[in-house]
Structure 1
């Protein structure tokens, strides 16, 4: 199963970073290049433990929907979102936040995912998604760092 971690320094304290990562509008703005928008569940404001959101976006020329639920919550240290419905066989995204001096936060995204379709999915994971997904999360984090 593909696994990757991305570490980003955000120019705000952990509480603010934690809240920003749960803000649905901030998420959609950070993913504007894929025309991402919230279409069901919590479509504005901030997600909370047990909350769901369905995002619709375009990737690889196709429109996809992914419904995620916040399954773990330890403000301001960490939270987890997991796919309930969507294109992946498995998706788990842990967000970790650690104070990093001078009001900054070291944010670490820990992501595990797997595509459906058995051997074809594993091939897609290794050839395409294993590179695409880290770039997507890195771009999202760069947006957050610039706009917080």
Structure 2
């Protein structure tokens, strides 16, 4: 059975700014400096668009991981979805929603659904270890996006 994670962040910036920051692979990599993350895009652009694939390499749990995701939904500035095409999970679907708060900012919601291989054992490891870890990573990334977006608003 898949595990689900939801993180809601309030950001004092325009939804378009937050949306664009979320699709910038350099911002993505910089949000987790301890993981030594790198990103290579299929298009060569650093800003992802519909159909683009990005391959991330990073260190988590002391192990080097490689995962490729594709942007499967792109509705600027309201929503986009990335889904794993190759990598460690049986399923990884990450929905990003951006709701305009009547000009006062953006409610950014991350919804991630993950399922690991290896049946019941994979499901148990996902619930006990992987989902809490990914929740912390998503919170860190959201805080990084919030900081960048709000700094742009003040500038």
Under a length normalisation based on structure 2, what TM-score does the superposition of the two structures give?
Answer: 0.90
Give 1:129 deviation, angstroms: 1.1
1:28 aligns with 2:59: no
Q: Is the aligned partner of 1:10 residue 2:4?
A: no
Give how far 1:44 is off.
Answer: 4.8
Query: Which position in structure 1 is the counterpart of 2:52?
Result: 51
The aligned counterpart of 1:66 is: 67
- Give the C-alpha shift of residue 144 in structure 1: 1.1
For 2:45 and 2:21, locate their aligned partners in 1 and report how far apart those are by CA, in whole Å: 12
Deviation at 1:4, TM superposition (A): 1.5
Runs of 5+ consecutive residues of structure 2 not aligned to the other structure? 150-155
Preserved contact between residue 24 and residue 43 of structure 1 (Cα < 8 Å): no
Match runs of 1:1-148 below 5 Å: 1-42=2-43, 44-148=45-149
Distance 1:5 1:96 in 2: 11
CA contact (8 A) 1:43 1:53 kept: no
| Structure 1 gap ranges (5+) | none
Over residues 35-61 of structure 1, what are the superposed CA-to-partner deviations in whole Å (9 max), with x where a residue is unaligned? 111145256520000000000000000
CA 1:90–1:97: 2 relative to 1, 3 Å: same
In the TM superposition, residue 136 of structure 1 has moved relative to its aligned partner by 0.8
Partners of 1:55 and 1:11 in 2: CA distance: 29
Inter-CA distance 42–30: structure 2 relative to 1 (3 Å threshold): farther
Q: Tell me the secondary structure at the aligned position of residue 49 of structure 1.
A: coil
> Displacement of 1:102 after TM fit?
4.3
Q: What is the root-mean-square deviation of aligned Cα atoms in Å?
A: 1.3
